């Protein structure tokens, strides 16, 4: 009986630890599917600012999730200088929007 409790505890602990990695992968795949990676990269500016730069920009803002969701939904111009213009995504469900916001902010 004790052996099953230990095995169950180990399984539970590893599944809890793996959750953020799974969430990162799901967010990455969604960003790829929705075309975000056509203009943004993870660690360096590409056509648009990098996801890590965006995360750093919003890191200490308590309204970050709301603000970033608005930028993703409506597109943006001038947030990162005149060089960067982002068009809004064509089809983005509310749950997909939240997943993208959370994924960007975890960079």
Flag whether 4 is in a domain: no
CA distance 21 to 94: 22
User: Is 42 part of a structural domain of the chain?
Assistant: yes
What residue numbers bound the domain in which 60 lies?
A: 23-105
What region does 27 belong to: left with phi over 0, alpha with psi -120 to 50, or beta?
alpha
pLDDT of residue 8: 43
With respect to residue 18, please indicate whether it lies within any of the assigned structural domains.
no
Count the domains in the chain: 1
pLDDT per residue as tens, the chain (107 positions)? 544 444 444 444 444 444 778 999 999 999 999 999 999 999 898 888 999 999 999 999 999 999 999 999 998 887 777 777 888 887 899 999 999 999 999 99
């Amino acid at each position: 009986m004790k052996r099953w409790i230990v095995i169950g505890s180990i399984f539970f602990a590893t599944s809890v630890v793996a959750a953020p990695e799974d969430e990162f992968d799901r967010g990455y795949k969604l960003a790829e599917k929705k075309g975000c990676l056509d203009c943004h990269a993870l660690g360096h500016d590409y056509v648009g600012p990098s996801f890590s730069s965006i995360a750093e920009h919003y890191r200490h803002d308590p309204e970050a999730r709301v603000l970033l969701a608005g930028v993703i939904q409506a597109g943006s111009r001038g947030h990162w200088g005149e060089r960067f213009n982002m068009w809004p995504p064509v089809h983005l469900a509310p749950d997909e929007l939240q997943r993208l916001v959370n994924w960007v902010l975890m960079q």
